[in-house]
Chain A
Amino acid sequence: MSKKWLSMALVFTLLMTLLAACGGDKEAAEPAPTPAEPDKQAEQPADPDQYGDTGGLALPLVDEPTTVTFMVASEKTDLNDSLIAKEIEKRTGITIDFQAYSPATYNDKLRVVVASGKLPDIFHGLKSSELKKIGQQNAVVAINEHLDMLPNFKRLFVEENPWVIPSYGDEKGNIYTWPVANIARDVNHGFLYRKDVFDELGIEEWSNTEEFYEALKKLKEAYPDSYPYASKTKEYIFRDWAYGWGIGGPNYPIYYDEDSKTWKYASIQPEHKDMLDFMKKLYNEGLMDPEFLTDTSDNWTAKMTTSNKAFVTWDWIGRLDMFYNQIKDTNPNYDLRYGTPVGPTGNGATLPKITPDFSIAVSNGKNKEAALKLLDYLASPSGATLVTMGVEGETFEMKDGKAVYPELTDVPLVDIKVLEDNYGLWVQGMYVNSDQRSVYYSFTEKEQEAQDKRLEANSFEPLEPVLNFTDEEVSSIAELQVNLQKASNEFNSKYILNKSYGDAQWEEWQKTATAQGADKLAEVFNNAQKRLDSASQ
């Protein structure tokens, strides 16, 4: 009998450990370390500008010590002990209790947090329509109601850019997202070409579409087994090239036509057919890699880094140096450079200087004023320097107009990731403004050439107006867009790859797309545009 009981006890123990193992993954929010007593010696700063230009905010921001919870996407779990947390506490009197989740799981965590109804004081990452919805339920603060205590927000998004609130706010003109300003570079993507191979064959870099075609032809003559243009972006090639034909934009395949001041569906416009015809020509003559629809990143890398497979492509400017570093030991002459945008307009994308896409929001709790003021400080020149560079004389020194980090001299390349790991700078969801002297803007020589080339030629497609959709519009866009996008990609691909496709199929497609709601989609955008026009008058 006792044996039986013993075995039962064993089974029970086993069971309990099993259950315990299941419940182990509790991410209990650790209590914030109690703030260290502020230095007794630190007197009240007599000089309001002791930390640089605060844009008119008086430091410290709060009368008594306040703790603000701040949810961010970062791999760094000890942000509460980082330089940024200590420095902000010293300057503003606000202790930040960071709730950091890795970018991979951040969105899931955010959903859970929102569903629980216990929002952190500051958080980011909801879709704009979702944020507006909970804003209207009073879960987050309408920032425009507190303008008089937020001088930096007022300066950046009301006085200097009066379009921001009509565009990013809701129908009542309430804005719930704190936009991020001055974070964009001028150029991030574009056509890249193998300058060393071009030079070797005596081919000039192209300056227009016809020359681009001729260059590819010469490359093919020299290397008959090659496909001079390779692509790794699969069906996104249509989106990426569209800027050069004047039909691109962040809402592709819907784009704003500046001449007629209306929104149109790109995939059924005559310009789009010109682009497809051009691609078809390249494909038929073996100038474009037939695998452009399926190539994997590795395969494409292999083609671009050997010297007889492919010579021109379209991607992120970081590749200019990445590829070189990969291949320099075997081919020191390898020289990938940024080329002029292809297409009749000769333009590429324009990166917006102000973006609401981070959806940084302040929840409607007892700390809302402190949280708003904190964000306003981070948006000031002084705060921007702190978040994107650090503390001058402590973390960085200025040398020849560049920030250098004495503690990080053994790091080969100090980039924003390194700064995040060491000091908690550049944390996603925390930077709302940036100092242009930051390492983020120190380009390599090849990247600089890309910026200069485009700036000199001023080859930027005009920015599109930013629209503001009602709930109903948001859901009808979602319903139409995915289907249309898929149908467009299908037609585009068939048009290029199938020999039999021509004008008849193109007209057929225009009808099909209209039947699937291409006009309806454009109409939704045009209605929102009308509202925007009347709001900004």
Chain B
Amino acid sequence: MSQAGVEAASTPPKKSAPRRKLTAFQHMKRDRQLLILFIPCFLFYLIFRYGPLYGLLIAFKDYSVFTGIIESPWVGLKHFINFFSGQDFWKLFKNTLILGVTSMVFSFPFPIILAILLNEVRVKWFKKSVQTISYMPSFLSVVIISSMVIDFLSPNNGIINQILSVFGFESKYFLIDPNWFRPIYIISDIWTHTGYEAIIYMAAIAGISPSLYEAARVDGAKRRHMIFNITLPSLMPTIIIMFVLKTGQLLRIGYEKVLLLYNPMTYDVADVFSTFVYRKGLLEANYSYAAAVGLFEALVAMVLLLSSNYMSRRLGGKGLW
């Protein structure tokens, strides 16, 4: 043992020492400013996200508005059993899953592609205006989007059919053709959200160190090489996080748009859990039943979220948690 070594061991450590365990109270004291900043967020979740959870009780009760949540009689799993044994269950499940999966598969890549392409545009004003125009539709309400879709597709004077007739095609009544319901739903979704969702990828691209590109250019990389070897790999964490979040919402198809776009001719393919819940809950005032279906939907969403997170951890070593 050298002198220095002994000395080093005996002098109190400066930095690399194991931390003293802090008590919870000391933690709070130390991070009090951060905690104070966190209070609104905490309260929000407590009041608006966890507070209403006790309302889920009505899924296991025969809830009536006048007797209130607590007083209503317990019925166990009655509503769940009714729902699973109902004639509509498999049709709804199939439709929800197909619409959810296809709209995710098709619409997920678009914002990424748009962000990468915009990143390659060197003309400032053009880039800015494309961005603005592309995220405008996401500020329109679902009602307006749906009316626009219905008008565009009108067989009499819709713009789509006018274009088709210029090329000599028959005018087609898209909205009553069950085969067209899903494509229409998905394409209008892509048109609505692509620009807005591209923003997050644009931000991620802006965070990539320029030195990487410079080094690549020195090594003689072309643009496409840079895209595939630098931009995409650097975006991967963002892409994975977005993907995991999206799978959680796979079954959460908003009822408004389906409600506005479907009609008796397309019920077969368009009827999903959320429209079913709407009919049961609002039209039949069967709140308990609707809550049971909604709870089931949430459980499926949770399973999907956990499993996709697990998968992405196994595959890429990265996940949400």
Instruction: Mark A residues whose CB is within 8 Å of B.
Output: 4, 7-8, 11-12, 15, 18-19, 111, 114-115, 127, 130, 133-134, 137, 227, 234-235, 289-291, 293-296, 298-299, 303, 309, 475, 478-479, 481-483, 486, 489-490, 492-494, 497
Contacts and interface: CB of A to CB of B under 8 A. Distances in A.
A234 B262 CA distance: 11
Contacts of A114: 65-66
A242 to B, nearest CB: 16
Contact of A19 (B40, B68, B286): B40
A486 B283 CA distance: 12
Interface stretch (B96-104, B149-157, B216-224, B231-239): B149-157
B179 interface: no
Q: Which 9 A-B pairs have the closest CB atoms?
A: A493-B264, A489-B264, A478-B284, A490-B264, A293-B263, A294-B175, A493-B265, A490-B267, A482-B283
Contact of B66 (A130, A234, A295): A130
Contacts of A115: 65, 68
A234 B259 CA distance: 13
A296 B149 CA distance: 11
B265 A497 contact: yes
Given A234-B263, A299-B154, A494-B265, A479 B40 contact: no
Interface of B: 32-33, 36-37, 39-40, 43, 64-66, 68, 88, 147, 150-151, 154-156, 173, 175-176, 263-265, 267-268, 279-280, 283-286
Contact of A11 (B36, B88, B155, B176): B36
Contact of B156 (A4, A134, A235, A309): A309
Contacts of B32: 8
A98 to B, nearest CB: 25
B36 A235 contact: no
Interface SS of B by simple majority: helix
A489 B176 CA distance: 13
Given A12-B36, A234-B263, A294 B65 contact: no
Contact of A235 (B66, B154, B264): B264
Nearest to A493: B264
A411 B29 CA distance: 69
Nearest to A491: B264
B36 A227 contact: no
Contacts, number: 88
7 contacts: A11-B33, A15-B36, A227-B156, A296-B151, A478-B284, A482-B283, A486-B264
B154 A479 contact: no
Contact of B264 (A18, A19, A293): A293
Nearest to B279: A482
Given A115-B65, A309-B156, A486-B279, A479 B264 contact: no
A291 B173 contact: yes
A490 B265 CA distance: 6
B36 to A, nearest CB: 5
Contacts of B173: 290-291
B150 A294 contact: yes
A479 B65 contact: no
Q: Name, among A115, A134, A293, the residue most crowded by chain B CB atoms within 10 Å (CB to CB).
A: A293
Nearest to A475: B286
A486 B267 contact: yes
A308 to B, nearest CB: 12
Nearest to B86: A483
A4 B155 CA distance: 68
Nearest to B43: A19
A303 B154 CA distance: 12
Contacts of B265: 293, 490, 493-494, 497
A294 B68 contact: no
Given A130-B66, A227-B156, A293-B176, A11 B264 contact: no
A19 to B, nearest CB: 7
A520 to B, nearest CB: 15
Most chain A C-beta atoms within 10 Å of own C-beta, residue among B66, B68, B264: B264
B40 A18 contact: yes
Nearest to A478: B284
A218 B37 CA distance: 75
Contact of A291 (B37, B40, B154, B283): B154
Nearest to A134: B66
B33 A7 contact: yes
Nearest to A297: B147
Contact of A290 (B66, B155, B267): B155
A289 B284 CA distance: 32
A482 B33 CA distance: 55
Contact of B286 (A7, A235, A479): A479
